[in-house]
Structure 1
Amino acid sequence: MTFLTIGHRGVMGVEPENTLRSFVRAERSGMDVIALDVQLSKDGVLVVLHDPEVDRTTDGAGAVADLTLAALRELDAGQGEHVPAFEEVVDGVRTPLQVSVRDLAAAAALAELVLRRDLSARVEVASFHDEVLAETARLLPGVRTVLHSELSGGAEGVVARALVCGAHTVALNIRELTLDTVESVHAAGLRVTGWTVNTLQQLRLARALELDGAATDFPEIRSTGRFLA
């Protein structure tokens, strides 16, 4: 079984999250997939940031939606890195990308870019929001999608949601996972990954649960995982 190591916002445990520096480090570390977050700037450009505001991850302040790409690029996102446009990441690394989207407007912009740049084989779309994945499936038939979810509704509820919105993978909190849950997801024909796996103990658990992959903040998890295969 192939076990995918997913670089969480690059390798945010050792580099500034969601920056090109972090993505390049993740690629050089051998991550199978790089996970990142996109939002729309004030002037409609897909930019790579997790929070609705820039306050936590940059030296600026305010909502992403209120700032143009030019204004965002003037901010220091850590160690002199700037906030990248999504297309800059596409051009900067070759590793497959798992793109997390939180609203329909950003999903539509991402779909347009994927079609224009012919990125369907390289990009999968992730979201906590069912309607975003359903719209992505409509706009980009055949593109892989990932439903991020808590397990508050139980495995059956998550599986039902994933099937309705057309997700191919379910991504769940490693601290909530049990073997029964993983087997239920697999029985529905879906893949299941865990987040966030940052210790050797968590990695061993991910392997024992027969997950299809795990998101991690640290490049060391990738190299350690080879020896646990």
Structure 2
Amino acid sequence: MTLILAHRGSAGTHPENTMESFKAAEKAGADGIELDVHFSKDGEIVVIHDNTVDRTTDGTGYINQLTLAELKKLKANYHYKHFFNKASRIPTLREVFEWLSGNQLLCNIELKNSDQPHEGLEDKVIELIKEFNLVTRTFISSFNHYSLVYINNQYPEMETAPLYNDILYKPWEYAKTLGSIGIHPKYKVITNEMIETAIENGIAVRPYTINKEKDMKRFIQANCSAIITDYPEKAVKLRAKIKR
């Protein structure tokens, strides 16, 4: 069965990478969530996509130049203020894991370290994963494939998957050179034949970000391992309809 992973939670209908968005994904029947992590100035692992807070909050500045206390003052649902009465906050990864402890959702953690190094982020994230006994329910992705090689060498029990947005030749073989057992391609660069061959070679395929119904239908019918979408509710309903 094709799993439904909620991209930054139910990001199509809720403020992305917030607890409200993640809880909405669970309510929609998603199999898991996808989220992004950075270090704050004081070394806390915070869940937010961009290098700055400018796009998604009412603040300005780089994540790694703001302390957790400063980040927590910002409204993460600033652009959704007409739809949510209560202010959403930027969550820490620990807060998300505390919530995950009460359900069975999978969690795809994207390390945002491809253009900012965030030295030690891999170790801190995995330390937290182990603290919450979530090794079997989490997998780590990144556009920084050196980071994934480090994880695969140091923590072979962790599942990793390279993110990429250009066509790769035999991506299942490339994943194996990294030590990964999954790939996360942009949905436009993966064919049905590639999906089938990758899965036959033991590599999970989880394309992003699939929001149109026709694209969801294509990947579900191709028996893709998972799809990453901003609209998990729509995807869950479509999967049920296709799999009848």
Same fold flag (TM > 0.5): yes
Cα distance in 1 for residues equivalent to 2:189 and 2:141: 19
* 2:164 paired with 1:149: yes
Instruction: After superposition, give the CA deviation of every residue in 1:94-143 in whole Å (9 maximum; x if it has no partner).
Output: 32211001335221210221223322122211111211111222332221
Q: Percent identity?
A: 28
Q: Equivalences for 1:164-179 in 2 at 5 Å?
A: 164-179=177-192
Cα distance in 2 for residues equivalent to 1:161 and 1:178: 16
Q: Which residue of 1 aligns with 2:109?
A: 99
Q: Which residue of 1 aligns with 2:126?
A: 111
Cα distance in 1 for residues equivalent to 2:174 and 2:48: 26
Instruction: After superposition, give the CA deviation of every residue in 1:140-181 in whole Å (9 maximum; x if it has no partner).
Output: 2221112111233x332x333311221111111222221222
Q: Equivalences for 1:52-131 in 2 at 5 Å?
A: 52-78=51-77, 79=84, 80-93=87-100, 94=103, 95-103=105-113, 104-131=119-146
Shift of 1:208: 3.4
Shift of 1:186: 2.5
Please give the secondary structure, in 1, of the residue aligned with 2:136.
Answer: coil
Q: Which residue of 2 aligns with 1:3?
A: 2
User: What is the letter of the counterpart of residue 222 of structure 1?
Assistant: V
Cα distance in 2 for residues equivalent to 1:50 and 1:13: 15
Aligned residues: 226
User: What is the letter of the counterpart of residue 4 of structure 1?
Assistant: L
Cα distance in 2 for residues equivalent to 1:179 and 1:92: 35
Please give the secondary structure, in 2, of the residue aligned with 1:142.
Answer: coil
Is the 2:49–2:112 Cα contact (8 Å) retained in structure 1? no
Q: Which runs of 5+ in 1 are unaligned?
A: none
- Root-mean-square deviation (CA, aligned residues, Å) is 1.5
Q: Which runs of 5+ in 2 are unaligned?
A: 78-83, 114-118
Shift of 1:22: 0.2
Is the 2:183–2:205 Cα contact (8 Å) retained in structure 1? yes
